[in-house]
Homo-oligomer: A and B are copies of this chain.
Amino acid sequence: MRAATVALAAPLSAEDQVAQSMPDASPTKWHLAHTTWFFETFLLSSQPSYRVFDETFTYLFNSYYNAIGERQPRAERGLLTRPALTTVHEYRAHVDEAMAPIVAAPSEEQATLLELGIHHEQQHQELILMDALHLLSRHPFPTPYTTAPLEPSVEQDQRWIRFGSDMAEIGHHGSGFSFDNELPRHQQLLTGFEISNRLVTNAEFAQFIADGGYHNPGWWLSDGWAAVSNRQLNRPIYWDEGTETLFDLHGTHEIDPHQPVSHLSFFEADAYARWAGARLPTEAEWEVAARQSAAEDGAARYRSGPTHHPVAATPGTTAFMGTLWEWTSSPYIAYPGFRAAPGAVGEYNGKFMNNQYVLRGGCHMTPPHHSRVTYRNFFPPHTGWQASGLRLAR
C-alpha cells in the first residue's frame, strides 16, 4: 500500500509535487508526508523507543486535527518548499522501518489504528490524482499525467431498475473495516423508487448545455444559480470552451459521448436531474440498489472488487462501484446513534457533517478494495474537481 502511493507520485517532478493549485488541493509532497505523519502520530509517537524523524513535521503535516495542535494553514501548504522531496522519502522510509514490528505483531488497538491508517492513505492516493489533475489543468498549456491509451467506450442503453417500498438496512455491518460514519447500521423506510442502470453520459449532459441548461434558473437551486451567475459558468470544470474537448489525466482530447459525464458539482448534477424530469437518488436508495446489483453480479466479482484503472473511467455497466463517485441528494449527516470516537481520531469524519453531500460508489481513481457499498464520501455542493458523476432516480 505504501509503495502504491509513491508509484502514483512518480510521473510528477519534484517541482510538480510542491505546488498547490488552490486551497482545496494539496501538494503531492504534502500527501506523501501527511500519510506518513498519520502513522507516526497515532501509532509511533507513544512508543518509548521511537525516535522522531523531525520535530517540526507535527506542525507541517498535521491536516486538521485540533487535538494534536497547531498546524500549517491549509491554503499555505504550497509554501513548504522545504523539506525537500528527497527528505520526505527518507521520512517515509524511517517511519516504515519503525512500523515494521507493529505491522508484524500488532496489539488489538494497534491493529485498529493500522487499518485506519491504511484506509486513510488510500484516500490520499485518490486525492493525489485528483489534485494533480487540478494542478495540471491550471497550466495555460496543460500536459498529461499519463501516456496510457484511452480505452474505447461503448454505448449502453438506459433503463430503470424498480424497487418497491420496503424497510431497508442501511450502513455497515459485519467484521470488515468501515469508517465510523458508516455506522451504526439502522433501519430506514424506503418508498418505492426507480434508479437508472447507468450513469448520465457526456452526450446526455451536452444536450442539457445545448438546451440552455446553464442559462435557465428554473433548473437550479438558488445557491447553485448564484454560483452560475457570479462565476459565469457554462460547462463542467474540465470541459474546454466549445465543449468538444476536455482535459483529464490523459491530456486534452475529444469528449467521448458514451463515457459518463464526470467532474460535476452537486449543483450541476442536481440541475441536470431536474431538467431530465428525474432526481438524484438518496444515499439509502443508492445503497439498496448497489447491494442488490452486487448480489446479482455474482458474489465472486463483488468480492474481488473492480480492477484498478487509476486514469481511465470504464463505460458504465449496471455496476455501481468504481466508475465515478455518484452524487446523492443526501446531505452528509450522522446516522442515528452515531458517536465520534474520543480523542483526535474522532475528528476524522464527524466534524465535517455540514454543508456537504454524500457521494457513493468510488471512481476509477479509487484504489482497489478501498470503497464499499456502504462507503460515504462527501464534498461541498459547489466543487467539481473530484471525479463525480450522477445516476438518475425517480
* Complex interface residues of chain A between 328 and 350 (CB less than 8 A to chain B): 329-331, 333-334, 336-337
Closest to A220 in B: B351
Query: Quick check: B191 and A337 within 8 Å, CB to CB?
Result: yes
Query: Quick check: A222 and B81 within 8 Å, CB to CB?
Result: no
- Interface stretch, picked from A94-102, A136-144, A313-321, is A136-144
Q: Can you add 16 more A-B contacts, CB < 8 Å, to A13-B81, A14-B15, A221-B352?
A: A14-B14, A15-B17, A15-B29, A15-B84, A19-B81, A56-B140, A56-B141, A66-B225, A67-B218, A79-B139, A80-B139, A81-B139, A167-B189, A186-B191, A191-B336, A355-B381
A354-B81 contact in complex given A66-B218, A187-B189, C-beta closer than 8 Å: no
Q: How large is the interface on A (under 10, 10 to 19, 20 to 34, 35 or more residues)?
A: 35 or more
User: Within 8 Å of chain B (Cβ to Cβ): is A72?
Assistant: yes
Query: Quick check: B80 and A222 within 8 Å, CB to CB?
Result: no
Measured between beta carbons, the chain B residues less than 8 angstroms from A224 are 354
User: Within 8 Å of chain B (Cβ to Cβ): is A32?
Assistant: no
Closest to A353 in B: B221
A21 to B16, CA, bound (A): 16
Query: Quick check: A16 and B82 within 8 Å, CB to CB?
Result: yes
Query: Quick check: A354 and B381 within 8 Å, CB to CB?
Result: yes
A141 to B326, CA, bound (A): 41
Closest to A186 in B: B191
For A135, give its contact among B72, B79, B188, B330 (CB under 8 Å): B79
Closest to A193 in B: B336
User: Within 8 Å of chain B (Cβ to Cβ): is A78?
Assistant: yes
A84 to B64, CA, bound (A): 32
Query: Quick check: B223 and A354 within 8 Å, CB to CB?
Result: yes
Q: What does the 1/0 interface line of A205-239 toward B look like (CB < 8 Å)?
A: 00000000000011011111100000000000000
A380 to chain B, nearest CB (A): 9
Measured between beta carbons, the chain B residues less than 8 angstroms from A115 are none
List 10 interface pairs A-B (beta carbons < 8 Å), by A numbering.
A16-B81, A18-B81, A19-B78, A19-B79, A76-B138, A220-B351, A221-B354, A225-B351, A331-B333, A355-B381
